[in-house]
Structure 1
Amino acid sequence: MKIIVPMAGRGSRLRPHSLTVPKPLIPVAGQPIVHRLVKDIAKVLKEPIDEIAFILGEPAFFGDDVVMSLQNLAKSLGAKASIYRQDQPLGTGHAIMCAKESLSGPAVIAYADTLIRANFNLDPDADAVIWVKQVDQPEAFGVVKLNSNEDIVELVEKPKSFVSDLAVIGIYYFKDVSVLKQELQYVLDNNIVNGGEYQINDGIKGMMAKGNVFKAGQVDEWMDCGNKTVTVETNARMLGFLQADGDEQLVASTVKLTNSKIIEPCFIGEHVVLNNATIGPNVSIGKNCIIENSSIKNSLIQTHNTIKNASLNEAMIGNYVSYDGNFKKVSIGDYSVLE
């Protein structure tokens, strides 16, 4: 089994946090988004992963440190890491075709801006599976249309009239991904574009037209990391799941507490110093932070920060930030100083 991860986008909706760190590498509940996504998919598949192909943007932004992080992720799952580049933002279909050398055999394609919780078996009769989640406002999403056999027969983007309430979340399984490769090559060769870009949906529609059977795989939870607000919400939800699972140590043994309290669930990384602080619930704090005379809840704090005299709720703070103040719902990028 292979996992194909297109992740070349700059994550503009998550600025300023994605100005210095690629969005898929921003930690949520203590681990980068893409790491959690790939590990959760591997857990759902319940079979060995042979290769993980990552499609990155230009080396100036997705540099050697990013490549090393992804190679270590693949190695931790016993898989080979393949690194490809998408130099131009020409759409989802184009991104996948940048990894054409890896497009063979069974594969999952997953876009690295979402997290899931799921537990199901792949349908052996399906040529492909599209992961979906039931939503309250289907008109805001791309949705699937099913026939009487529960096969997916159509993909509809933001339907104006009701088609279904099963939204496509951006994760796909193909029994043989080379079939998708052939259809996407046709899309590229014939310059079939939607919204000025080459889309995976046009390749999927080509497969459907030739009789390939698509089934819907429903996830239990679908968590977005598209902007600051939803990323903070996703951090809180993920912390709750991890606390219930009990599989990860969420508070490092090197955390130093002085007259401080941690209200679970929280993730607190290595060598964090808490002095006269109340942390939680639903807070993630990266390594080497110092927090004094502060109360923080429902927030996402990255690494190497000094935070004093703060009362924060629904905040997101990057790396190497110095913060001293009484603002609440802040969104502060790397290397900022507020005193």
Structure 2
Amino acid sequence: MKALVLSGGAGTRLRPFSYSMPKQLIPIVNKPVLEYAVENIVDLGVSDIAVIVGDRAAQITEALGDGSRFGARITPIHQDRPRGLAHCVELARPFLGDDDFVMYLGDNMLPEGITKIAEEFRADRPAAQIVVSKVPDPRAFGVAELDADGAVVGLEEKPNRPRSDLALIGVYFFTSAVHQAVAAIEPSARGELEITDAIQWLLTHGHGVKAGEYDGYWKDTGKADDVLECNRHLLGALNRRVDGDVDAASELVGPVVVEHGARVVRSRIVGPVVIGAGTLVEDSRIGPDTSIARDCVLRATQLTDSIVMAGASITQVPGLHGSLIGRSASIGPSDHAEAHHRLVVGDHTHVEVAA
């Protein structure tokens, strides 16, 4: 089995971050979302992985390398602009050949893995096996309709009146039969080759299509609030580890990770919190539910339920909550008097807030 990871979307819901970085590189507990996807795939025993990349291919390549640190081989495949998931399969046909493969959206978080569903696919080898999960409002997703025996009988893309609450969550298993389906379909009304149309073609032409229900935690990290929620969820499994320096005037409460080279000075850290390598936290109150990446500086700041990306600095900010702080962003005091702040700050920006 091979793997096809999709990492070329525009990420419009995560602007301003997606203006300067692929949305799949947004960090959750200081690790890019895309790395979690690759690790899940390697856990299936799959080592030959193609990654669809867009105009920020260099950043994806820098983040993943050649795949050797994951025990895999990674092959980038360029897509000039988003043209649909089925178009990604078409682009990857020379790489995939006639092998079975798993297709995985690179901005999806499934921390409990997909091993069980992969085993079901390998045992039965239907032409397609989709992964579905129950959602409160399926209108924003591809939706699967199943019969009484659990077999897939129909698919709809973002229906106004969904026939079920089972959403396709961005992981698909295919045999080579899907290539015939992709070649047969036409672009949808939005001008894209839809993978739901390809799977529906398989159904219509008598090919077996099954659904595996994922009942673990799942999150599409396409919006800032979803990123923060996912960060909270994964931080909940954190174990305390202190490899950096914490002075005698500081207090660590609960599960706190202080990575090598980080320093905590005259500060109180309430876990779960991760403080990245090379970061300085001084005269501050941090946590809970906060991830701070490498090489950041936080001074005289109070920060909760937030993600701070690499190289950012925050000084004299008394009440940051529910915030995403971009790479190398700088946040400091101003003369205005506001008691509370909530920020979504893009890369290399400068923001002034009330001291």
- One fold, TM greater than 0.5? yes
Q: What does 1:110-189 correspond to in 2, within 5 Å?
A: 110-118=104-112, 120-121=116-117, 122-123=119-120, 124-127=123-126, 128-161=128-161, 163-174=163-174, 176=175, 178-187=176-185
Does 1:213 pair with 2:208?
A: yes
Larger Rg: 2
Q: What does 1:5-24 correspond to in 2, within 5 Å?
A: 5-24=5-24
1:250 Cα deviation after fit:
4.2
Q: Deviation digits for residues 147-205 of structure 1, max 9, x if unmatched? A: 1221112112334445221111111112x2x2112211222xxx343422111111111
Does 1:83 pair with 2:76?
A: yes
| Distance 1:11-1:161 versus aligned 2 partners, 3 A rule | closer
Does structure 2 retain, via aligned residues, the 8 Å contact 1:49–1:77?
no
1:249 Cα deviation after fit:
9.2
Q: Which stretch has the larger CA shift, 135-144 or 99-108?
A: 135-144
Q: Distance in 2 between matches of 1:158 and 1:199?
A: 11
Q: Give aligned-pair identity as a percent.
A: 31
Q: Distance in 2 between matches of 1:185 and 1:305?
A: 47
Amino acid at match of 2:177: V
| Distance 1:229-1:203 versus aligned 2 partners, 3 A rule | same
1:263 Cα deviation after fit:
1.5
1:242 Cα deviation after fit:
4.6
| Distance 1:312-1:194 versus aligned 2 partners, 3 A rule | same
Partner of 2:229: 233
Q: Distance in 2 between matches of 1:144 and 1:42?
A: 27
Q: Distance in 2 between matches of 1:209 and 1:70?
A: 38
Q: Distance in 2 between matches of 1:113 and 1:201?
A: 18
| Distance 1:21-1:92 versus aligned 2 partners, 3 A rule | same
Does 1:54 pair with 2:51?
A: yes
Amino acid at match of 1:11: G
Amino acid at match of 2:179: K
Q: Distance in 1 between matches of 2:202 and 2:89?
A: 16
| Distance 1:139-1:208 versus aligned 2 partners, 3 A rule | same
Does structure 2 retain, via aligned residues, the 8 Å contact 1:26–1:33?
yes
Partner of 2:39: 39
Partner of 2:291: 284
Does structure 2 retain, via aligned residues, the 8 Å contact 1:6–1:96?
no
Q: Distance in 2 between matches of 1:141 and 1:8?
A: 19
1:256 Cα deviation after fit:
0.9
Q: Distance in 1 between matches of 2:39 and 2:322?
A: 27
Partner of 1:266: 273
4+ residue stretches of structure 1 with deviation over 4 A?
Answer: none
Higher relative contact order (CA 8 A, sep 6+): 1
Partner of 2:246: none
Does structure 2 retain, via aligned residues, the 8 Å contact 1:304–1:320?
yes
Q: Deviation digits for residues 279-306 of structure 1, max 9, x if unmatched? A: 1111111111110111111101101111
Does 1:200 pair with 2:213?
A: no
Could you list the runs of 5+ residues in structure 1 that have no partner in the other structure? Answer: none
Partner of 1:324: 332
SS of equivalent residue, structure 2 residue 261:
coil
1:243 Cα deviation after fit:
4.6
Q: Distance in 2 between matches of 1:259 and 1:68?
A: 36
Size of the aligned set, in residue pairs, is 324
Q: Deviation digits for residues 303-333 of structure 1, max 9, x if unmatched? A: 1111111211000011111111465210111
Q: Which stretch has the larger CA shift, 114-123 or 328-337?
A: 114-123
Q: Give the TM-score normalised by structure 1.
A: 0.89
Q: Deviation digits for residues 233-260 of structure 1, max 9, x if unmatched? A: 111112224559xxx9943032211111
Q: Give the TM-score normalised by structure 2.
A: 0.85
Q: Distance in 2 between matches of 1:242 and 1:152?
A: 38
SS of equivalent residue, structure 1 residue 19:
helix
SS of equivalent residue, structure 2 residue 20:
coil
1:142 Cα deviation after fit:
2.2
Q: Which stretch has the larger CA shift, 204-213 or 294-303?
A: 204-213
Q: Distance in 1 between matches of 2:47 and 2:99?
A: 11
Partner of 2:249: none
Q: Distance in 2 between matches of 1:93 and 1:22?
A: 20
